C-alpha cells in the first residue's frame, strides 16, 4: 500500500487546489477548492499509511462540503454543525489511534487541534476573517507533518497554503489596489449578510 510517488503526485495536485482557493473572491469557491485539495491530501496520506490524518481529512471533506452547501444557500451553518464535526474528528482520533492502530503519539495533538479549528473557521462567512484565522491551523499542520516525517509534498502543500494565504492577505487586505478594495468591500458585505 505504501507508494511514495503516488503520494507525492496527489500532494502536488492538492497544492495547486489549495493555492487557488486563496485567490478566489467568493466563499463558495474557496470551499470548493479546499474540498478538492482535501480529496487529494486524503489520497496522499493513504499512500503513506497515515490513517488518522487521512480519516481526519475525510471528516474535513464532509465539513467543507456541508459548509459549501450552506454557503450556496446564502446561510451560515448552525454552531452545532461545527461542534458535531469537531466531535467526529476527536472521536475518530481516539478510535483509530488508541483503539485500532494503537499508535497514538503526543504530536498527534497538533493534527487534532488543527482539524478542530478548521471546523469552526470554515463556518465563518467573512472571507477576510477566514484568511487571517486559517494561519493558525495551517501552521499547526505544517508542524505536525514536519515532526511526523509525512511525505514531502504533504508537508509542502501546507507550506504552500500558508504562503498563498499570506500573499492573499497582503493582496486583498493589506495593500489592495483601488479596484480590488471595492471588490473586497462588496465581497465582505455579502459575506456578513
pLDDT given at position 24 = 94
Q: Report which of 92, 4, 110, 107 is spatially closest to residue 48, judged by C-alpha positions.
A: 4
pLDDT given at position 181 = 54
Q: Where are the domains of the chain?
A: 4-191
The interaxial angle of helices 135-147 and 108-121, nearest 10 deg, is 160
Q: Report which of 137, 130, 126, 125 is spatially closest to residue 60, judged by C-alpha positions.
A: 137
pLDDT given at position 184 = 53
**Residues ≥6 apart with Cβ < 8 Å to 122:** 31, 34, 63, 64, 67, 82, 130
pLDDT given at position 122 = 92
The dihedrals phi and psi of 76, each to the nearest 5 degrees, come to: -90, 140
The dihedrals phi and psi of 43, each to the nearest 5 degrees, come to: -60, -45
Q: Report which of 158, 180, 169 is spatially closest to residue 130, judged by C-alpha positions.
A: 169
Average pLDDT by consecutive 10-residue portion of the chain (193 residues)?
Answer: 86 91 93 94 86 82 93 94 95 89 88 92 94 96 85 77 95 80 52 42
Is the CA virtual torsion 14, 34, 158, 189 positive or negative? positive
pLDDT given at position 162 = 95
C-alpha span between 170 and 74 (Å, rounded):
27
Which residue has 467543507 as its cell numbers?
64
C-alpha span between 144 and 25 (Å, rounded):
29
pTM: 0.81
C-alpha span between 180 and 127 (Å, rounded):
14
Amino acid at each position: 500500500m505504501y507508494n511514495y510517488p503516488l503520494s507525492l503526485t496527489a500532494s502536488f495536485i492538492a497544492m495547486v487546489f489549495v493555492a487557488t482557493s486563496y485567490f478566489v473572491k467568493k466563499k463558495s469557491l474557496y470551499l470548493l477548492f479546499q474540498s478538492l485539495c482535501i480529496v487529494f491530501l486524503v489520497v496522499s496520506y493513504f499512500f503513506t499509511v497515515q490513517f488518522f490524518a487521512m480519516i481526519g481529512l475525510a471528516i474535513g471533506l464532509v465539513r467543507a462540503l456541508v459548509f459549501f452547501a450552506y454557503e450556496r444557500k446564502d446561510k451560515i451553518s448552525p454552531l452545532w454543525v461545527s461542534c458535531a464535526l469537531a466531535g467526529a474528528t476527536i472521536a475518530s482520533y481516539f478510535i483509530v489511534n488508541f483503539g485500532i492502530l494503537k499508535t497514538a503519539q503526543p504530536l498527534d495533538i497538533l493534527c487534532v487541534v488543527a482539524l478542530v479549528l478548521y471546523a469552526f473557521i470554515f463556518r465563518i462567512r467573512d472571507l477576510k476573517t477566514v484568511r487571517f484565522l486559517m494561519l493558525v491551523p495551517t501552521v499547526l499542520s505544517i508542524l505536525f507533518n514536519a515532526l511526523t516525517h509525512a511525505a514531502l509534498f504533504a508537508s509542502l502543500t501546507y507550506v504552500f497554503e500558508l504562503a498563498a494565504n499570506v500573499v492573499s492577505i497582503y493582496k486583498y487586505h493589506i495593500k489592495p489596489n483601488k479596484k480590488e478594495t471595492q471588490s473586497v468591500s462588496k465581497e465582505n458585505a455579502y459575506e456578513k449578510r
